[in-house]
Structure 1
Amino acid sequence: MEINHKIKDQITGFIAANSLVLIVMAITKYFLPPFGGGNVIIFSEFVILPFLMGIVSAWCWRKINISTRKQSAWTIYNTVIAIVLSFLVLKEGMICLVIVSPLLFAFILLGTYAGKAMFKRNNQTLNASVFVMLFGIFIADSLSVHRYENKVADTITVNAPPTEVWKYVVAYKRIEKKSDFWLFRMGMPSPVQSTAEGYYLGAKRKCIFSNGYVFDEKIVTYDENKDLTFDITNQPRDPEIMGHIDILRGQFLLKDNGNGTTRLTGNSWYRLYVFPVWYYDIWAESVTRNVHLRVMEHIKELAEAK
């Protein structure tokens, strides 16, 4: 009988924690105006809510004497349930869920530790104060303006003069080589080809990614053999990037090293819609950098072959 009560409390902890998050997410998405502007996913949704999930689970498990190891294992189950529900209910992409899972696990686990300590002391004033504080942070974060833009730059040396490199900067033939970047190998779209309607200022350009995704671009700076800058005019509505990041502008800079080689620099500007920045910008920079290097290494190979 005691074992049945433990299993019941354990399952209740999973259900209560995930139900709380689904209810809050539904309220913020369907019944309240957008927080932070546009489709921003705020800091609190990835930090405060998982922390609350842990506290709620700890309350349901307060009568169970669980070890630290078992508590961590149950937190993994809680995280997996949250990820599956996000996939089924919120329609998040699998790669996005892989990226967010460490953050969810960390704060759900911290919440369970905090909850275990709170309910062990059974101090109602302390418990109420913690919930009020978390609710206050959630409201303050929800009403704040969220805007973050960043630039990523990468540089390689090409053993060819700028006149040769330039031929493949504006447009390049299809990349056949498989990427070594693990997210690309998992299925995240990667660049495979670039086309342009002409080599002149204002020309339309397309950056084609795997799975057929296309970024429409317009050349805004055309300084032959030196600077190609293009604005992104339209981007695919892929579930992995839609509402999470917008690529704003791209650029290739060529510098003659004076010894038959060229310094090729790739720059990209983007805007993030997911917070906290200290976590998600690490991923955004990594993906952007691997896009740069995949394209620039291909340009290098083509130019040096000549």
Structure 2
Amino acid sequence: MNILIEKLPDNDKQRKWIAIAITVLISMLLTLVGIYLIGEYGVALFIFTPFFMGACPIILYGLKRHVSRKEAWKMGFLALLIFTVGLLFFAIEGLICIAMAAPLGILFTWLGSLIGFSIVKKGTKRSSVIVLIFLAFIPTTAFIEKDFEPELNSVVTSIEIEADLSTVWRNVVEFPQLEAPKEFIFRTGIAYPINAKIEGSGVGAIRYCNFTTGSFVEPITVWNKNLLLKFDVLEQPAPMKEISFWDIDAPHLHDYFVSKKGQFKLTQLSNGNTLLEGTTWYYHHIKPAIYWKGWSEYIIHQIHLRVLAHIKKNAENDQVLLRR
């Protein structure tokens, strides 16, 4: 690594661009190894890789040179920008996933640039060793975190409906076509429900909740009429359709977000209305879990709200007709 640094040109502009190019190339290779060889979307990808992109170019460029903190973070963010364009251009990722990961990427690129600046400012002779440690740390972390078992999480959303239990129940079991979504999140490619059908009745019946990307196949496990409908998820479609110039089929669209089971619970209220609760149990293989859990739960809540509002509208309309 010292030989590489010493062979960089003395011209400031050329040295900067070559340092950035080397950083982006290494980061892209590490990303491909992590995603396609190791099969891991985790801390190595979303934290350590942007950290490396912030630190590496300034270390390559700035050793034995005067560099400002502003120059350091500018080089780091330029490397991140070129890297992001590369992900889009080579159909590795789509715009939505990149936007979701952007806060992590920006934060840790900035932190990496500060560390890189600190190393250069001290003029340590071991800077090349530090870069090599960064390089080794990324795939090593991906290998380690690959074996971590994901945690099963639940998301509960509820709505009050001005209709009795039996009327709500009929609209829970299956419901007609939903209106086109008005929520921005569903206009970005995130899959959303369009209708639900059921084959059979009672435990063992198969419910199909149809989304824009395919169908959830849901064998009924509990059929407590007018009170509780519970089901497993046997099959599920891709969670989104990526926005891209190309047709992207990224690995994270398959088995990285997994819905395990769900239920609808109906409760009669004292005012005669019905409280309807929808629950989804899920896990994901994407880390850091605390960050991606926030995105997952927000999206699941939006899906729940879309379905529950549709059931509410249909049940209340049915109740009005029954009262006539």
**What TM bracket, shorter-length normalisation?**
0.7 to 0.9
Match status 1:222 vs 2:228: no
Deviation at 1:159, TM superposition (A): 1.2
The farther-off stretch of 158-167 and 235-244 is 235-244
2:13 alignment partner AA: I
Select which of 293, 311, 316 maps to 1:299.
Answer: 311
Q: State the partner residue of 2:173.
A: 170
Select which of 274, 281, 294 maps to 1:282.
Answer: 294
Deviation at 1:55, TM superposition (A): 1.1
Residues 113-172 of structure 1: per-residue CA shift (max 9 Å, x gap): 110111111123477468547845762562243222211111111111111110111111
2:83 alignment partner AA: A
Question: Given that residues 222 and 231 in structure 2 are in contact (C-alpha distance below 8 angstroms), is that contact kept between their aligned partners in structure 1?
Answer: yes
Residues 225-268 of structure 1: per-residue CA shift (max 9 Å, x gap): 11111111112245473243111111111111132111111110
What is the percentage of aligned positions where both structures have the same residue? 26
- Judging changes above 3 Å, is the alpha-carbon distance between structure 1 residues 115 and 94 closer, same or farther for their aligned structure 2 residues? same
Match status 1:21 vs 2:33: no
Question: Given that residues 46 and 104 in structure 2 are in contact (C-alpha distance below 8 angstroms), is that contact kept between their aligned partners in structure 1?
Answer: yes
Structure 2 counterpart SS, 1:41: coil
The farther-off stretch of 117-126 and 85-94 is 85-94
Deviation at 1:41, TM superposition (A): 1.6
Match status 1:259 vs 2:271: yes
Deviation at 1:288, TM superposition (A): 0.6
Give TM-score scaled by structure 1 length. 0.86
Root mean square deviation, CA, Å: 2.5
Structure 1 counterpart SS, 2:177: coil
Distance in 2 separating the partners of 1:302 and 1:64: 69
Distance in 1 separating the partners of 2:200 and 2:182: 28
Q: State the partner residue of 2:54.
A: 54
Gaps of 5+ in 2: 1-9, 241-248, 319-324
Q: State the partner residue of 1:103.
A: 104
Question: Given that residues 155 and 280 in structure 2 are in contact (C-alpha distance below 8 angstroms), is that contact kept between their aligned partners in structure 1?
Answer: yes
Question: Given that residues 160 and 273 in structure 2 are in contact (C-alpha distance below 8 angstroms), is that contact kept between their aligned partners in structure 1?
Answer: yes
Question: Given that residues 48 and 134 in structure 1 are in contact (C-alpha distance below 8 angstroms), is that contact kept between their aligned partners in structure 2?
Answer: no
Distance in 2 separating the partners of 1:218 and 1:120: 62
Deviation at 1:295, TM superposition (A): 0.4
Gaps of 5+ in 1: none
Q: State the partner residue of 2:197.
A: 195
Match status 1:7 vs 2:8: no
Question: Given that residues 179 and 294 in structure 1 are in contact (C-alpha distance below 8 angstroms), is that contact kept between their aligned partners in structure 2?
Answer: no
Q: State the partner residue of 2:243.
A: none
Q: How does 1:122-271 map to 2 (within 5 A)?
A: 122-125=123-126, 128=129, 132=133, 135-136=136-137, 139-140=140-141, 142-144=143-145, 145-148=147-150, 149-180=152-183, 182-210=184-212, 212-237=213-238, 239=249, 241-271=253-283
- Judging changes above 3 Å, is the alpha-carbon distance between structure 1 residues 254 and 79 closer, same or farther for their aligned structure 2 residues? same
* Count of residues in correspondence between the two structures: 294
Deviation at 1:305, TM superposition (A): 1.2
Q: State the partner residue of 2:7.
A: none
Residues 189-232 of structure 1: per-residue CA shift (max 9 Å, x gap): 2111111113321111111112x422222111111111111111
2:156 alignment partner AA: A
1:52 alignment partner AA: F
Distance in 2 separating the partners of 1:186 and 1:227: 33
Deviation at 1:23, TM superposition (A): 2.1
- Judging changes above 3 Å, is the alpha-carbon distance between structure 1 residues 165 and 222 closer, same or farther for their aligned structure 2 residues? same
1:213 alignment partner AA: G
Deviation at 1:278, TM superposition (A): 1.5
- Judging changes above 3 Å, is the alpha-carbon distance between structure 1 residues 103 and 288 closer, same or farther for their aligned structure 2 residues? same
Residues 255-304 of structure 1: per-residue CA shift (max 9 Å, x gap): 11132111111110111111001211110110011011110011111111
Structure 2 counterpart SS, 1:124: coil
Question: Given that residues 198 and 208 in structure 2 are in contact (C-alpha distance below 8 angstroms), is that contact kept between their aligned partners in structure 1?
Answer: yes
1:150 alignment partner AA: N
Structure 1 counterpart SS, 2:148: coil
